[in-house]
Amino acid sequence: MVTSPRRVLVVDDDSAVRNVLRLALERAGHSVSEASSGEDAISVAAASTPDLVILDIGLPGMSGLEVLGAIRLDQGDLPVILLTANGEEPDRVFGLQLGADDYLAKPFSPRELVARVEAVLRRSKRTEPSPRIEFDDLVMDTASREVSLGGVPIRLTAKEFDLLRFLMQSPRQVFTRSQLLHHVWGSLPGWQTEATVNEHIHRLRRKIEVEPSRPRRLVTVYGSGYRFDP
């Protein structure tokens, strides 16, 4: 049993699946809301401000991946667990790239799903971040959108600031270029080229690195993407 009720939104077009999940989650102490379509899911998520969403990839009409993209744009780090069919590996991988927190293949055990829900909720930190992010002499004030290095203000474009803030908020975590396009630019793969990310990283390196050609903070992880090292 959980120590305090958490709000979980279950999104699946199969009423039997929703009912099974509702019963299991309510027995575990959670409050449950439901949606049977992607459009309904976005509306319910905006109205009920859930702590976590369980989302079926194979929704008719607006797909689960489209819903995931909309949730990431509207509600940022809202935890999402994907429900997938066994044959949906490419969609599952794409969903994780878009920022899903976990997935579970159908058919599944309700007990396992509840365990995964509680694990994701424990990992998630849906609290208001501090307006000040500081690593050694690199200081960012997210409220005033100001950055300084060694006490000297640095002039950044709006998108350079957004990209640096996103990376600094998750130090040492590797993000692919497609993830950065999605989270920082609000773009899905195919809408913008990944070269956009590369160019902005290069610009930032010229502004915050002592040796831009040998970056210490904005590190390339070859074959994967970029990370911020404090």
Whichever domain contains 213, its CATH number is 1.10.10.10
- Do residues 145 and 222 both lie within one domain? yes
| Predicted local distance difference test score (pLDDT) of residue 87 | 58
Whichever domain contains 113, its CATH number is 3.40.50.2300
Report the distance separating Cα 182 and Cα 99, nearest Å.
9
Q: Within a domain: residue 1?
A: no
- DSSP H or E segment with residue 138: strand 138-141
| Predicted local distance difference test score (pLDDT) of residue 91 | 62
Which tens digit of pLDDT belongs to each residue from 126-180?
544 568 899 999 999 988 999 999 999 999 999 999 999 989 988 888 889 888 8
Read off φ and ψ for residue 164, nearest 5 degrees: -65, -40
Q: Within a domain: residue 116?
A: yes
The residue to which tokens 């509306």 are assigned: 43
Entry pTM = 0.54
Tally of CB atoms within 10 A around 141 = 14
- Do residues 184 and 77 both lie within one domain? no
**Measured CA distances, 11 to 32, 54, 90, 147, 163 (Å):** 11, 6, 20, 40, 31
Q: Is 222 exposed, middle or buried (0-12, 13-18, 19+ CB in 10 A)?
A: exposed
Percent of the chain at pLDDT > 70 equals: 87
Greater pLDDT, 127 or 63 = 63
Cα–Cα nearest to 55, from 110, 13, 3: 13
- Do residues 163 and 194 both lie within one domain? yes
Q: Is 96 exposed, middle or buried (0-12, 13-18, 19+ CB in 10 A)?
A: middle
Which tens digit of pLDDT belongs to each residue from 36-46?
998 999 888 88
- Do residues 86 and 180 both lie within one domain? no
Q: Within a domain: residue 23?
A: yes
Read off φ and ψ for residue 93, nearest 5 degrees: -65, -45
- Do residues 18 and 113 both lie within one domain? yes
Among 123, 145, 172, give the residue marking a domain's end. 123
Count up the domains in the chain and report the number.
2
Q: Mean pLDDT, the chain, as a whole number?
A: 85
| Predicted local distance difference test score (pLDDT) of residue 1 | 41
Q: Within a domain: residue 2?
A: no
Greater pLDDT, 46 or 113 = 113
Q: For 74-95, what is the mean pLDDT? A: 74
| Predicted local distance difference test score (pLDDT) of residue 165 | 92
What residues have CB less than 8 Å from 122, skipping those under 6 apart? none
- Do residues 23 and 44 both lie within one domain? yes
pLDDT-derived band at 3, boundaries 50, 70, 90: very low
3-state secondary structure of 11: strand
- DSSP H or E segment with residue 41: helix 38-48
Domain span at residue 51? Answer: 7-123
Is the pLDDT at 100 greater than 60? The verdict is yes
| Predicted local distance difference test score (pLDDT) of residue 67 | 87
